[in-house]
Chain A
């Protein structure tokens, strides 16, 4: 870990600056020309460059350089005490609060929520009678005020690993679960704590300086705050007196903040970077397809390649040379294991690949129009209106903050431009058509107030609202209970007959394929290995992988092999 940190230029630079400053501070008793409180009345406000007083002397005739060096020590001790207390308290409380029963949990949670809402500096001032103004005691208390940050990190981690560890821990006799948990958590939480410590050290130093500036504590203790205060009083007589401590304090805190940022980048990896919303998918190369090829198809995908950048920027292809076509009203099943690239193919057709994804080759033509390279605005007339989408996870695909009806109405209006009243009527009719018994009530519900099956009906209603020509359904039943799956399947089958839509059905459920698909394409590790009529694929699969997938349905029927992804936002 340390090697990684030292290789980062920002971390290395700030660490070196801090090392130099703090080593000089530690050597202060040896290298400082004077004691921090040695006052020479003959030297009051001595200017910069006075022999023996390289940076001059302050209003009491004390050597500024010596006081600076000693102040570094005060800052270091403040940072050390504040940070250690915060880490010790935060880690302990995090382990206890995450591990023990619900009462302990909510009690620690309440305590730390309270700690966070205390106005720090004000509290430290009011507690002066307790600390006696000693900056070490003050920083000790301040450590408690800093602790909630660490507590949160540790507690969340404990809650996350607690249950899986229970199983293992039960098997290990001799060692208590709490100890195992502690060790395990501490090994993971080290990185985040080091990062937090850098920021906390900065906060502790700034707070101590602020208090010393106000005059809290002993005047004997040399500190940046006391020096800045004295310099501030002397601003008109000797402006440089104010400059030196400010400069050094600024350098130290800036180094700590920049170090913290650098540590965060190197230890936690780069966070997702924002991109311009609606700018469309990244396309590095496309394949030109002459107009006379497959003109009768509604959707034609040719030689599609999709890649994601790896750690060092190289592109890893997840979809390679995919060719697909769907005729008007045709239902095509796209089957394959998780990670075979079928969802990526579906997303690229909709123009909603994640921002990191890169299209490396190919062409996607819908109704004779090239779709690759279009941005959201250019796709506005197509998406929602001509091509629609049914997602896999019903809950995470509804905006939790808006009523169901309002979300659907917005989609209908965006696609068709009808009036609000018209859109409302249409949505209500569709909810009714999609088997929702009380459409008015669902219309006025928030997503968390309806069941998963209902939510999926809502999403289907949203997808077919504008009678699209092509429906892209990404595992529309997998996240649901088995009984609900059958109902949703019935609904889909009815809607297909009624609306005469073409469908790209992404699934790994061969039961579903046999039920509603005209043709099947089988995908494996990013490539299409077999395409054919549903009947012939079931009767005589040519590719070994297809045979394997077909065999597996006998064992597992409709049960998923991979765990469903968690519903994002459900707990927040």
Chain B
């Protein structure tokens, strides 16, 4: 088990290495633009060259990358070229904002999807049609429109919830809950649309398997067949859907953070990219890859727990 985890984390680190190198090669050519942005439109070529030299940006890109890497391995991710704020604490605090949005959204999505999917698959008829209707509804409404619609309705018209902005959990838990309510609803609607349909489909398949028939002939209750046997077997593919949903939300949060003016990871990445803020982009890429690796690893370990055949030794 431990060697397996180490191997997977090493693979994740390798991936982070490759991706940051690609990012460096892609953006490393635009240092001059960055220098001119810092100095302003009226900068002379001499001043620009001086800045490039002062920051070490005139050296070969690979040399710069290796230097960055050496520092990063010791926990020093550099500072923003514009604000001079160190990257590491900023990335972590931004990540905390986004995760405080995604984790509740994902938990609610998973709970609702399992309840809805299992209910639809084990009841059929009207219940099933309602569940499918919910799923189609979530699919056909673009998250962006839902987000704006809910802001207009609850934030502006009714004034029940803050339309924009973020309150830290540590500062005011109730305020935090209020500030993430609408964004979480938007993420949940999209997530449930996808995941409940998947859970339902897997459950319908499982309930038709041979072992279910055999369990029935032994007098095992319907309750146990649905909630214990079929659900456990449907659980492992559902978990994979959940991990993809997490990553999907991680991407979708970018737009949501923009609509609700939340100081999240996506927002940070977006602004850094617009400005070509290289240290920030590298920090973001690194932590993005680390997060995705950890989520996938956790999914595989949980899958092994649910599905004995996929268990790692």
Contact = CB atoms under 8 A, between A and B. Distances in A.
Asked if A and B bind, the verdict is yes
Interface of A: 114, 116-123, 125-130, 206, 209-210, 213-214, 225, 228, 232, 235, 242, 246, 249-250, 253-254, 257-258, 261, 271-278, 347, 350-352, 354, 376-377, 379-385, 387-389, 391, 393, 396-402, 407, 410-411, 414-415, 446, 448, 459, 462-463, 568-569
Contacts of A275: 124-125
Nearest to A416: B219
Contacts of B148: 228, 232, 242, 246
Given A250-B141, A400-B308, 18 more contacts: A117-B243, A120-B251, A122-B254, A206-B143, A214-B270, A228-B148, A254-B141, A257-B139, A275-B124, A277-B225, A351-B216, A380-B221, A397-B213, A399-B229, A401-B307, A401-B308, A414-B220, A568-B210
B140 A257 contact: yes
A381 B241 CA distance: 39
Given A130-B26, A384-B218, A119 B250 contact: yes
19 contacts: A119-B251, A121-B266, A122-B266, A122-B288, A126-B273, A127-B26, A129-B26, A210-B255, A213-B258, A246-B149, A277-B123, A278-B216, A376-B222, A379-B219, A384-B219, A396-B211, A410-B220, A446-B308, A446-B309
A564 B15 CA distance: 44
B115 interface: no
Contacts of A410: 215, 218, 220, 224
Interface string B239-278: 0000110011011101100110000001001100110100
B189 interface: no
Contacts of A206: 142-144
Contact of B292 (A118, A257, A276): A118
Nearest to B276: A129
A183 B98 CA distance: 47
Interface stretch (B89-97, B165-173, B201-209): B201-209
Enumerate the 7 nearest inter-chain pairs by beta-carbon distance, A residue then B residue, closest first.
Answer: A278-B222, A384-B219, A411-B218, A119-B251, A254-B140, A389-B217, A384-B218
B296 A117 contact: yes
B244 A117 contact: yes
Interface residues of B, dominant DSSP: helix
Contacts of A253: 140, 142
Given A129-B273, A388-B217, A258 B248 contact: no
A572 to B, nearest CB: 8
Interface in B158-205: 200-201, 203-204
B101 to A, nearest CB: 14
Nearest to B235: A401
Contacts of A242: 148
B116 interface: no
A122 B251 contact: yes
B284 interface: yes
Nearest to A258: B140
B128 interface: yes
B145 A396 contact: no
Highest count of chain A CB atoms <10 Å: which of B125, B207, B213, B292: B213
A352 B296 contact: no
Highest count of chain A CB atoms <10 Å: which of B120, B142, B220: B142
B64 interface: no
B14 to A, nearest CB: 12
B144 A213 contact: yes
Given A261-B136, A399-B215, A272 B251 contact: no
B156 interface: yes
A213 B256 CA distance: 11
Contacts of B222: 277-278, 376-377
Given A129-B276, A376-B216, A397-B214, A119 B229 contact: no
Contacts of A351: 216
Contacts of A569: 209, 233
Contacts of B274: 128
A274 B204 contact: yes
B87 interface: no
A206 B140 CA distance: 10
